[in-house]
Amino acid sequence: MTMHLEELHQLADDRRRELEGFAHHILVCTSLGCPKNKEIIAAFRQALTNSEAGEKVLVRKVGCMGLCAAGPVVLILPEEIYYQKVAPGDAAEIVSALGREPVQRLLLPSDLPFFTRQYKNVLALFGRIDPESLEDYLAAGGYEAAVTTITRMRPTEVIRSIDKSGLRGRGGAGYPTGLKWSTVAKAQGKKKYVVCNADEGDPGAFMDRAILESTPHALLEGILIAAYAVGADCAYIYVRAEYPLAVRRLKRAIREALRANLLGTAICGSAFSLTIQIRLGAGAFVCGEETALIASVEGGRGVPRPRPPYPAEKGLWGRPTLINNVETLANVPGIIQRGADWFAGLGTEKSKGTKVFALTGTINNAGLIEVPMGMTLREIVEEIGGGIPGGHTFKAVQTGGPSGGCIPAEHLDTPVSYENLSALGSIMGSGGMIVMDETTSMVDIVTYFMAFSMEESCGKCVPCRVGTAQMHTLLKKFQTRTAIDDDLTTLESLCHLVRNTSLCGLGQSAPNPVLSTLNYFRPEYLERITGPVDPCRQEEKQ
Amino acid sequence: MPASQPDQSATDKRWKTINLVMQRHDHRPEALIETLHAAQEAFGFLDPETLAYIATQLDVPPAKVYGVTTFYNHFNCSPRGEHFLEICTGTACHVKGTDRIAAWAQEKYGLEPGQTTADNRLSMVEVRCVGACALAPVIITDGTLIGAKTIAETTDLIEEWLHDDAP
């Protein structure tokens, strides 16, 4: 079946009219972060069958609404009333309050800074559409950008637009997306691939999971545009097996898109064809590294290889391959739709647009947020995050997971950007932001990260395989207060050695948590040096 | 090395799905990980016979099949007990103290991560971040996610979960 833009508009209009036919919508979050949602939906349906207004009310399952700390969350439209911590037993009360005074005891004020201080682009449709309905996505203007691109734009125009927007890789490294696309587009060879990296291995990060669970079609649309721009007819999505719900929704979205000729051959009557296949990851953090990821898609161990050649020239099965992260690709439809200038107008000079963060740890409003680049860490933690619970005080915010660092209170006024975070000894990373209070020991958290890097080291290069193990042993001594003076010197020199000589990003960035805490929280290491002290140095101290 | 299906009862439907996955990939070697996923999904774990069969079918050296299987955390080579407890070890969960849940399980059931009790009643593993960080500390009991509780509440829930189902 060939589908044209007009027919897509028709489908979208039909769905819009259908939705407008209801007086109220009850939207229930069905993401991983809101458990018991099936029971809640069933309870609402039951309550509606007993209610007079029942036929005029539609219960819809939607994706993540962001404020996971208040979950399970329910949203009533068109009134924009949020309810928090909803239990199945609350359904009847909420239904009988429809069109009347809201249920005060469950009310979640919609004027919280958590909602008003965000700027949503990637998350715009989160919690507003049914992730398992193509029609819902179409009714919200979905696939418009992709179909326009494929039927009316030249690939070079698309790349120019992405380039002009200033979009940079959201997986953490921040490589300019337009430049990557144009390298693949220019690479020699007829067969090219697009690979979407959805192997979100960074502990404490769940932006990609939420995108896959909430708006899977937005990712497919981004992949369509990318594949058209670089000239690929085959794409892979490499997704974590640990995300079963995300995988299920993604598979469904691919089937729906195929049926509507938004994937497959001669898409929407054009000469462009694309197939998208899913490859399941199997729990190896190193597969976030692009050459390791390629090895894994090819069915082998996820072991990186030296670059160059870069995947843009020699990637999957030796062919030019574009590898982009989920959030990067999910940004693309918005850029095409609203224009490169709109995107470039957001953020800082070198970090454009918005960034999605998973805000967790000891923070009141734990959840998923999207803010313009350039917002300060303080605004994120204190305003959007609502500060630290239980009378505790802020100690540090950890970004970039095992590859990042801990940023202390004195740097909270730093605007978030790729450059600023790396100047502080951390990295933007994929977007995990873990807030820690004064009860968290920095030595403990760093030992935790080093154990992670040590276990996840693929073992191919010596500095990473042996270095992470040695650093872990040293950190354990600090943790158990058996360290001696020299251990600190050894630890520091090992950090530099592993950083400078490891083959891939895993090893190169594994020392970051140590170095950043040695920089900001050195006394915590020093107070744990209780072992025998070198007699010469003892004299020095006296 | 058995070249045929290890389970000779050809009626075992579980083999059909595994064979189907290999067929869909034309038995190309790159289908290895996909096939291992299908096999683990079907049988709960990967035994040497299964690995040998997959190696033959995809024409991949058994050493490589074993290498790939043991490289990835997700694949396990020993059978699981009746109940399966997963403890999340993501950063947010670590900060909220999930290591204390593992320590509690060790004391109560004598289980190290990755082990099964002698009566085959419970298997416990520590898993990488499941992505429900806002609900930390997170555990998964037979596929059901439990979060946003204190450590004491969580361990109580584990006891309840195992007790409810006691014979």
Q: What's the pLDDT tens digit per position in B78-94?
A: 998 999 999 999 998 99
Interface-testing mutation among A31, A32, A209, A394, with chain B (most B C-beta atoms within 10 A): A32
The superfamily (CATH) of domain A141-344 is NADH-ubiquinone oxidoreductase 51kDa subunit (3.40.50.11540)
Mean pLDDT value of segment B145-162: 93
Establish if B1 touches chain A: CB-CB under 8 angstroms: no
A82-98: pLDDT as tens digits: 999 999 999 999 999 99
Residues of A in contact with B102 (CB under 8 A): none
Nearest residue in A to B95, CA atom: A361
pLDDT surpasses 60 at A462: yes
Reported as a pLDDT band with limits 50, 70 and 90, residue A542 is very low
| Contact check, Cβ <8 Å, B133/A204 | yes
Q: What are the residue boundaries of the structural domains of chain A, listed by start?
A: 20-110, 141-344, 354-437, 442-526
Q: Name the residue in chain A with its Cα closest to that of B86.
A: A242
pLDDT (mean) for A65-79? 93
Mean pLDDT of A483-494: 96
Chain A residues with CB inside 8 Å of B92's CB? 203-204, 360-361, 366, 434
Residues 247..276 of A with a Cβ closer than 8 Å to B: which?
none
Interchain CB distance below 8 Å, A434 and B95: yes
Position A215 scores a pLDDT of: 97
* 3-state secondary structure labels for all residues of chain B: CCCCCCCCCCCCHHHHHHHHHHHHCCCCHHHHHHHHHHHHHHHCCCCHHHHHHHHHHHCCCHHHHHHHHHHCCCCCCCCCCCEEEEEECCHHHHHCCHHHHHHHHHHHHCCCCCCECCCCCEEEEEECCCCCHHHCCCEEECCEEECCCCHHHHHHHHHHHHHHCCC
Measured between its terminal Cα atoms, the distance across chain A in Å is: 86
Q: Does B17 touch chain A (CB under 8 A)?
A: no
pLDDT of amino acid A51: 84
Q: pLDDT at position B3, please?
A: 46
The phi and psi torsions of A34 (rounded to 5 degrees) equal -120, 85
pLDDT tops 80 at residue A42:
yes
List chain A residues with CB under 8 Å of B72. Answer: 281-284, 302
Residues of B with Cβ-Cβ distance to A304 under 8 angstroms: none
Q: How far, in Å, are A40, A143, A215, A225, A429 from residue A137 at the CA level?
A: 23, 8, 8, 16, 29
Q: Which H/E stretch holds residue A398?
A: strand A394-399
pLDDT digits (tens, 9 = 90+) for A126-178: 999 999 999 999 999 999 999 999 999 999 999 999 999 999 999 888 999 99
Q: How many CB pairs under 8 A join A and B?
A: 129
**A295-334: pLDDT as tens digits:** 999 999 999 999 999 999 999 999 999 999 999 999 999 9
The reply to whether B45 touches chain A by the CB within 8 Å rule is no
CA-based nearest residue in chain A for residue B131? A206
Closest residue, chain B, to A31 (C-alpha): B132
CA distances from A381 to A378, A424, A483, A512 (A): 5, 17, 34, 22
Indicate whether A541 pLDDT > 50. Answer: no
Q: What residues of chain A lie within 8 A of the CB of B91, using their CB?
A: 203-204, 360-361, 398, 401, 432, 434, 445, 448-449
Is A432 at the interface with chain B, CB within 8 A?
A: yes
Give a three-class secondary structure readout of A323-386: EEEHHHHHHHHHHHHHCHHHHHCCECCCCECEEEEEEEECCCCCEEEEEECCCEHHHHHHHHCC
| B32, B134, B136: residue with CB nearest A299 | B32
Tokens standing for residue A296: 């894994």
What is the average pLDDT score of chain A?
94
- For A237, phi and psi rounded to 5 degrees? -110, 115
Token couple for A72: 């399970």
Q: Do A242 and B74 touch (CB under 8 A)?
A: yes
Q: Do B33 and A284 touch (CB under 8 A)?
A: no
What's the topology of domain A20-110?
Glutaredoxin (3.40.30)
pTM given for the model: 0.94
Is A442-526 a domain of CATH 3.30.70.260? no
Instruction: State residue B134's pLDDT score.
Output: 87
Residues from chain A contacting residue B148 (CB–CB below 8 Å): 69, 71
Binary contact (A279, B34; C-beta < 8 A): yes
Provide Rg for chain B, Cα atoms: 18
B34 vs A contacts (CB less than 8 Å): 279-280, 299
| Test mutation, B57, B71, B126, B154, chain A, max A CBs within 10 A | B71
Query: What pLDDT does B2 receive?
Result: 44
Asked if A298 reaches chain B (Cβ–Cβ under 8 Å), the answer is yes
B48 touches chain A (CB under 8 A): no
Query: Which CATH code fits A354-437?
Result: 3.10.20.600
Condensed to tens digits (0 to 9), the pLDDT of residues A362-403 reads: 999 999 999 999 999 999 999 999 999 999 999 999 999 999
What residues does each domain of chain B span?
Answer: 13-71, 83-164
What is the band of A457 on the pLDDT scale with cuts at 50, 70, 90? very high
- At the topology level, CATH places domain B83-164 in Glutaredoxin (3.40.30)
